[in-house]
């Protein structure tokens, strides 16, 4: 896992130097926009509802929900990338 991207899988948390990242929920209901509920702990705890392409702050950085692979299955993968 590079410092410019974070990959999260169902049930796993990522702990990196800037904070901890965990997916609370992936809402991939047919006929509704895909929404990822993300929890981030840096100096404080934050929760975000994100669509692919949305950005969010972590400390002094900006991160983006880059993509969701297999969103309708229990084997989904979320990729977050740091925005320059």
Measured CA to CA, the distance from residue 39 to residue 84 in angstroms comes to: 21
Rounded to an integer, what distance in angstroms lies between the CA atom of residue 28 and that of residue 67? Answer: 13
Calculate ∠ Cα 71-78-48, nearest 5°. 100
Q: What is the pTM of this model?
A: 0.92
Contact 11, 48 (CB under 8 A): no
Kindly report, residue by residue over 18-61, the tens digit of the pLDDT. 999 999 999 999 999 999 999 999 999 999 999 999 999 999 99
Residues in contact with 11: Cβ distance below 8 Å, sequence separation at least 6, in sequence order: none
């Amino acid at each position: 896992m590079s410092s410019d991207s974070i990959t999260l899988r169902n049930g796993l948390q990522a702990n990196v130097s800037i904070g901890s990242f965990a997916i609370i929920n992936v809402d991939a209901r047919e006929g509704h926009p895909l929404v990822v509920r993300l929890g981030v702990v840096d100096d404080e705890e934050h929760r975000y509802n994100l669509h692919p392409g949305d950005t969010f702050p972590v400390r002094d950085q900006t991160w983006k929900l880059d993509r969701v692979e297999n969103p309708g299955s229990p084997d989904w993968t979320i990729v977050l990338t740091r925005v320059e």
